[in-house]
Amino acid sequence: MRLMALIRAALPLVAMVLSACESSNFVPWPPNGTGGLAERRPSTDARIDALQNRLFRLAERNARYYAAADFQDAEFTLVKIRRLSEGGFPEDSEIEIARLKLQMDHIDRVIAMKTGTRKGA
């Protein structure tokens, strides 16, 4: 009888403590199909930020129009690199970084060919 009274008295306290722990580090979960948390956090690797900036510059040069499939593949590769880097797979992310650089070089050449400009112009 005494044990039941003790459990009844402690139950609200346990519920409050657990709810406080749950809400103290709440991060909103991204909507389905929009990527995970690794894509939403700032990168800890400066090289990934540089690749992101280079991809933005390609988008400013209308890469989505001139090399749509290649540009989308490059965007997916960048997301994959972020996931690998945040997941603790440095060797795999190095391989994908090299692949992304080659993809971006190819997109640069396609844009230059279709617009008649030189790379980086």
Residue 4 inside a domain? The answer is no
Range of the domain at 103: 41-115
In a domain, 24, yes or no: no
Q: Which two tokens stand for residue 79?
A: 């997301």
Q: In 10 A of CB 7, how many CB atoms?
A: 10
Handedness of CA 98, 99, 105, 111 (dihedral sign): negative
d(C-alpha 92, C-alpha 4), whole Å: 55
Q: How far apart are CA 112 and CA 2, in angstroms?
A: 82
Q: What is the value of pTM for the model shown?
A: 0.65
Rounded Cα–Cα distance for residues 7 and 104 (Å): 63
101-117 pLDDT tens trace:
999 999 999 999 988 87
Rounded to an integer, the average pLDDT of 82-108 is 94
45, two tokens: 């690797």
Residue at 11 is within a domain: no
Domain membership of residue 88 (yes or no) is yes
> Within a domain: residue 79?
yes
Calculate what percentage of the chain has a pLDDT beyond 70. Answer: 78
Give domain status of residue 104, yes or no: yes
**How far apart are the C-alpha atoms of 12 and 109, rounded to whole Å?**
66
pLDDT tens digits along 23-70: 555 666 666 666 666 666 677 788 999 999 999 999 999 999 999 999
Residue 25 lies in a domain: no
What's the structural domain count of the chain?
1
What is the rounded CA–CA span in Å between residue 60 and residue 29?
30
Q: Are 61 and 111 in contact (CB under 8 A)?
A: yes
User: Is 5 a domain residue?
Assistant: no
